[in-house]
Homo-oligomer: A and B are copies of this chain.
Amino acid sequence: MAERMRAVVKVDESPGEAGTAVTDRALPEIGPDEVLLRVRATSICGSDRHIFHWDPPIRKTIQPPRVYGHEFCGEVAEVGRNASRPDLRPGDAASAEMHVTCGTCYLCRTGRGHVCARTKILGFHEDGCFAEYVKVPAGNVIRLDTAIAPLRVGAFLDALGNAVHTIEDERISGDRVAILGYGPIGAMAAALAHHLSAAEIYVLDVSDRALAQARAWAESKAATNVRVLSTSGEAAASALQEVLERTGGGVDLVLEMSGAESAINMGLKMLRHGGRMSLLGIPSRRELTLADYTHDLIFKGVTLNAIIGRRMFSTWHRMLSLLESGLDVGFVVTREFPSLDHFHEGMALFDSHEALKVVFYPDGKGSW
């Protein structure tokens, strides 16, 4: 193993390219309960964009200099001498849950660590995976079966886990589903809804580029039960009208991926009485006004589920099983780069929404 590695570092508080450097760093040294992983593929998440731009909400979670990145897969390089993971050997394909929970609070001790209030995130509070190597607590390592995932899909299992967690408590087969926002997670949610045999799928977005991507996906799958609708400006009212008419009163399930106040309110109106809505999107402002709380929530008797992270580790197991059963999400990767040195180029594409998902292969090899 080399002693130095390439890494993408948030070097100081400057926003944009000036504040992020692709540079050399010492390899992380693992403690007795940690595992060192060689990063084979890593991808950019929306929150990395906030780090890159040094957006206000992200500032208090990061202290530069910091290696960022939290979506990746790779191989086990070294296992700490006290790690209780007899199932891990150097060379094993692996990914990792990058939320590190306290392990002792009520929620951690009762199987709900994904909502632990003391969670630390690698790539934010500690160094992340935009690097050739990353260290993680042994318990957070997810062993992979190389057979089940193309390498580029392995690059964003963390994000796929968000999408899977959004729907895993919901029955979806045979249901009518609306997806608000066709970014990377919205796109994966659409793929999941289709894979799990939703009866009807409505994809809504304000961006023409996103709508075109959604239509291209639906066509590639010959998915005749998918309708892609613009909610830009005046089109929003007719999109709502169309969904209500086609469903005879509203969809069973809304997956809110946009964080836009207008979308959240439209989602409530789009829901049938007694329907369910999963909330994943994060607004840019703290305050959010519900347009008609009494009629849209109370009188309809709806259920809202706010989604954060992924279950540790049942969502991971389920995600891997779904990939094994044929779930195809590789299409969200629209650009791949053979090294981290292309980071600024990749971030520019991601930032402008030209690419849904951008993947880097730190060792230059794009397959297992």
Q: How far is the CA of A117 from the CA of B248 in the complex (A)?
A: 11
A266 CB, min distance to chain B CBs, angstroms: 15
Q: Which B residue's beta carbon lies closest to that of A303?
A: B305
State whether the Cβ of A207 lies closer than 8 Å to any Cβ in chain B.
Answer: no
Instruction: Give complex CA distance A161, B303 in Å.
Output: 19
Q: Is residue A14 contacting chain B, with contact meaning CB distance below 8 A?
A: no
A301-B308, A318-B174 known; A289+B289 contact, CB < 8 A: yes
Dominant SS among interface residues on chain A: loop
Q: How far is A84 from B83 in the complex, measured between Cα atoms in Å?
A: 13
Question: In whole angstroms, what is the CA distance A122 to B288 when docked?
Answer: 36
Task: Kindly list chain B residues whose C-beta atoms are within 8 Å of the C-beta of A295.
Answer: 286
**What B residues does A87 contact at CB under 8 A?**
104
Check if B306 sits within 8 Å of A300, measured CB to CB: yes
A291-B287, A304-B303 in contact; A321/B282 too (CB < 8 A)? no
The answer to whether A106 and B317 touch across the interface, beta carbons within 8 angstroms, is: yes
Among B173, B314, B321, contact of A196 (Cβ-Cβ < 8 Å) = B173
Q: How far is the CB of A213 from chain B (nearest CB, A)?
A: 23
**For the complex, what is the distance from the CA of A255 to the CA of B324, rounded to whole Å?**
21
- Is the CB–CB distance between A107 and B274 below 8 Å? yes
Please give me the residue from chain B that is nearest to A111 by CB atom. Answer: B111
**How many chain A residues touch B (Cβ–Cβ < 8 Å)?**
74
CB of A341, distance to nearest CB on chain B (Å): 34
Residues of chain B with a CB closer than 8 A to A18's CB:
none
Q: What B residues does A274 contact at CB under 8 A?
A: 107, 112, 115
| Bound CA span A77–B107, Å | 26
Q: Which of A114, A174, A292 has the most CB of B within 10 A?
A: A174
Whether B174 contacts A273 by the Cβ 8 Å rule is: no
Interface residues of A in 90-140 (CB under 8 A from B): 103-107, 109-112, 114-117
Of the A-B pairs whose beta carbons lie under 8 Å apart in the complex, a sample of 21, sorted by A's number, is A85-B104, A106-B272, A110-B314, A111-B111, A111-B314, A114-B301, A117-B273, A173-B195, A173-B322, A174-B321, A174-B324, A195-B197, A196-B197, A282-B294, A283-B293, A286-B293, A287-B291, A288-B289, A289-B290, A300-B308, A301-B309
Closest 4 CB pairs of A and B: A174-B321, A111-B111, A115-B274, A288-B293
